Structure 1
Amino acid sequence: MSHPLFARAYARLSVSADLHGGVAAHRKDLLSGLSGRVLEVGAGNGLNFAHYPSAVSEVVAIEPERLLRESALRAAVRAGVPVDVVPGAAEALPVKSEAYDAVVFSLVLCSVRNVERALAEARRVLRPGGELRFFEHGRDERRSMATLQRGLDRTVWPLLFGNCHTSRDPVDEIRQAGFTAVSFRRVTVPEKGLRLPTSACVLGVAQRPGNVTERP
């Protein structure tokens, strides 16, 4: 998969959002307390890598876009934990079932082609009792913005921004996929200034049903 123009723009905008939009702090919260083996789906240019705690023994980072994957490979070298960046799609993860203690989605579910399939794959690769960590933008609670989001999604937004959709409801989708113990808080990005169609975000955790298994 290749979206070179979007990839270059995303790389610049994501760094700016980390520095000036409060996103770096949300990344740190997203990954806090993780341990063991982690699968990150849609790693982008690797901005999460610096925030993984030392208790994480391994991160396998899936990224389908070539230019973003190259940036992620460079970020992996600087990470404080082992990170392996590989190509792949969220709807067909190239890893074994029940192999990971946690799966991370960070600003990804907006752009996958099949959300239901992507979340089913996340369930498949998680150990019973494993965690799904998510930081996603989605449908705004304000009616006027939600109406604008639906209009954008039906017209130009996905074409301009790498299949990004602004009006999806990640929390509802995660629940419908069969994850339990879903907890989250709403955050706004950027925290101050102009409200964008992508400003309404959720940061949270869910669990794959089943008894927690012992790690080998």
Structure 2
Amino acid sequence: MTDLSHPIFARLYPRLDAGCAKAGGDAHRAELLAGVSGRVLEVGAGYGANFAHYPPGVTEVVAVEPEPRLRARAGHAAGRAPVPVTVRPGVAEDLDLDDASFDVAVVSLVLCSVRDPARALAELRRVLRPGGELRYYEHVRGSTPGKVRFQRAADVVWPFFAAGCHLTRRTDARIARSGFTVRDERHFEFPDSGKGNPASPHVLGIAIRD
């Protein structure tokens, strides 16, 4: 399966993300991709929000996106990107790509919604060369009991409206035990006043393929 259709989410997400970009999301994407070079795989590229932030040291980006409407928008964004970008269908759990064929893999706000996070991370590790980087920017499970209770309550309905997104995944911890060594990582709330937002706990980091 290479297509996962979420037509309502695909129409709404670019508008919602535009507001997040103005509130600081663009700065987070720039931080995520700072210093990236070589051949890059981006999984769950969405509508191509990261493309404008790739630095000139990148020789090629292969961008995988399973949602057809978002993928079409990503194709248009690829034409405006500062580096070569190829957009193709695919799902994180079954990448039709060669072993050890990328220098860097990028995931941003996607591991919350993949159907099998462990398999997705195994695939990312497989296609990265030894010593290659996993760059990640994700929302994660909260660090306080109150926040976790809030997330669990919201998670009853959240996935239905957010294309399968789950709020309580410990993506940061899962990366650290999936054949990667975390080199840099920071946790933060986004937006800053995120008490009423169950998706406000975020992590941004770099992990090295063992």
- Please indicate the TM-score interval, normalised by the length of the shorter structure: over 0.9
Amino acid in the other structure paired with 2:188: V
Tell me the residue number matched to 1:173: 174
Amino acid in the other structure paired with 2:175: I
Amino acid in the other structure paired with 1:186: H
SS of the residue aligned with 1:205? strand
Distance 2:182 2:9 in 1: 35
Change (3 A) 1:151 1:182: farther
Tell me the residue number matched to 1:6: 9
Aligned-residue offset at 1:181: 3.3
Tell me the residue number matched to 1:58: 60
Percent identity over the alignment is 53
Change (3 A) 1:193 1:200: closer
Aligned-residue offset at 1:191: 2.7
Tell me the residue number matched to 2:162: 161
Aligned-residue offset at 1:108: 0.4
Tell me the residue number matched to 2:18: 15
Tell me the residue number matched to 2:120: 118
Aligned-residue offset at 1:159: 1.2
- Could you list the per-position Cα deviations for residues 50-107 of structure 1 after superposition, in whole angstroms to 9, with x for gaps in the alignment? 0000000000000000111011111101000000000000000121110000000100
- Could you list the per-position Cα deviations for residues 146-165 of structure 1 after superposition, in whole angstroms to 9, with x for gaps in the alignment? 11112222x21111110000
C-alpha contact 1:175 1:182 (8 A) present in aligned 2: no
Distance 1:7 1:98 in 2: 31
Distance 1:35 1:107 in 2: 21
Matches within 5 A, 1:43-192: 43-153=45-155, 155-192=156-193
Query: Structure 1-normalised TM-score?
Result: 0.93
Aligned-residue offset at 1:182: 3.9
Distance 1:193 1:111 in 2: 20
SS of the residue aligned with 2:167? coil
C-alpha contact 1:22 1:191 (8 A) present in aligned 2: no
Distance 1:18 1:29 in 2: 13
Distance 1:128 1:194 in 2: 40
Distance 1:97 1:176 in 2: 20
Distance 1:117 1:180 in 2: 17
Moved over 2 A (4+): 191-195
C-alpha contact 1:183 1:204 (8 A) present in aligned 2: yes
Aligned-residue offset at 1:6: 0.8
Structure 2: gaps spanning 5 or more residues: none
Amino acid in the other structure paired with 2:67: E
C-alpha contact 2:100 2:126 (8 A) present in aligned 1: yes
Amino acid in the other structure paired with 2:159: P
C-alpha contact 1:101 1:130 (8 A) present in aligned 2: yes
C-alpha contact 1:108 1:136 (8 A) present in aligned 2: yes
- Could you list the per-position Cα deviations for residues 139-184 of structure 1 after superposition, in whole angstroms to 9, with x for gaps in the alignment? 111211111112222x211111100001111111101212113420
Aligned-residue offset at 1:185: 0.4
Distance 2:122 2:199 in 1: 25
Amino acid in the other structure paired with 2:192: E
Q: In the comparison of the two structures, how many residue pairs are matched?
A: 207
SS of the residue aligned with 1:119? helix
